[in-house]
Structure 1
Amino acid sequence: MKAIGFRTSLPITAADSLIEFETEKPSPSGRDLLVKIAAISVNPVDFKVRQNSAKDVSLETPKIIGSDAVGIVEAVGEEVSLFKVGDEVYYAGDITRDGCNAEYQLIDERITGKKPKSLSAEAAAAIPLTALTAWEILFDRMRINEKDKGKTVLIIGGAGGMGSIAIQIAKKVAGLRVIATASRPETVAWCEQQGADHVVNHKDLINEVHQAGFQYVDFILDFVDTGLYWDTMAELIKPQGRIASITGAANPVAINKLKSKSVSFSWEFMYTRSTYQTDDMIEQHNILNKVADLLDEGVLSTTLKQTLDGLTAENLKKAHQQLEAGSTIGKIVIKY
Structure 2
Amino acid sequence: MTDTATHRTGRDVPTTTRAFLAQGGRSVRDEDAFVVRDVPLHPVRPHDLLVRVEAVSVNPVDTKTRQGLRSGTKQLGWDASGVVEAVGSEVTRFSVGDAVWYAGTLDRPGTNAELHLVDERLVGRRPATLDHAEAAALPLTGITAWETLFDRFRLTESSTGTLLVVGAPGGVGSVLVQLAKARTGLTVLGTAGRSESRDWVSSMGADHVVDHHDLVGGVRSVAPDGVDYVFTAHSAGNVTTFADLVRPFGQITAIDDPRGLDLYPLKRKSIAWHWELMFTRSAFGTPDMGEQGLLLDALADLVDAGRVRTTATSVVRGLDPAGLREAHRQVAGGTAIGKVVVAR
TM-score grouping bracket, smaller chain normalisation: over 0.9
Aligned-residue offset at 1:318: 1.6
Distance 1:146 1:292 in 2: 18
Distance 1:45 1:270 in 2: 12
Q: Does 1:70 align with 2:73?
A: no
Match of 1:233 among 242, 245, 259: 242
Q: How does 1:147-166 map to 2 (within 5 A)?
A: 147-149=158-160, 151-166=161-176
Aligned-residue offset at 1:146: 4.1
Partner of 2:327: 319
Match of 2:58 among 39, 42, 45: 42
Partner of 2:182: 172
Distance 1:228 1:88 in 2: 43
Distance 2:97 2:158 in 1: 41
Q: Does 1:310 align with 2:321?
A: no
Partner of 1:124: 135
TM-score (norm 1): 0.94
Match of 1:217 among 227, 238, 248: 227
Distance 1:38 1:322 in 2: 20
Question: 2:239, 2:266 within 8 Å by CA — same for their partners in 1?
Answer: no
Question: 1:40, 1:68 within 8 Å by CA — same for their partners in 2?
Answer: yes
Aligned-residue offset at 1:51: 2.1
Distance 1:196 1:104 in 2: 38
Aligned-residue offset at 1:221: 0.3
Partner of 1:191: 201
Q: Does 1:243 align with 2:252?
A: yes
Distance 2:22 2:223 in 1: 49
Distance 2:224 2:37 in 1: 54
Partner of 1:20: 36
Residues 88-111 of structure 1, C-alpha deviations (whole Å, 9 max, x = no match): 100011121111111010000000
Partner of 1:11: 27
SS at match of 2:297: helix
Question: 1:227, 1:252 within 8 Å by CA — same for their partners in 2?
Answer: no
Partner of 1:328: 336
Partner of 2:118: 107
SS at match of 1:83: coil
Aligned-residue offset at 1:25: 4.6
Aligned-residue offset at 1:2: 2.1
Unaligned stretches of 5+ in structure 1? none
Unaligned stretches of 5+ in structure 2? 1-16
Question: 1:222, 1:244 within 8 Å by CA — same for their partners in 2?
Answer: yes
User: Bigger shift: 180-189 or 137-146?
Assistant: 137-146
Superposition CA RMSD, Å: 1.4
Question: 2:31, 2:322 within 8 Å by CA — same for their partners in 1?
Answer: no
Question: 1:89, 1:112 within 8 Å by CA — same for their partners in 2?
Answer: yes
Q: How does 1:254-293 map to 2 (within 5 A)?
A: 254-293=262-301
Match of 2:95 among 78, 84, 89: 84
Distance 2:283 2:27 in 1: 27
Distance 1:213 1:23 in 2: 54
Distance 1:248 1:235 in 2: 21
Distance 2:322 2:31 in 1: 10
Distance 1:29 1:284 in 2: 18
Aligned-residue offset at 1:39: 1.0
Distance 2:75 2:185 in 1: 39
Question: 1:209, 1:215 within 8 Å by CA — same for their partners in 2?
Answer: no
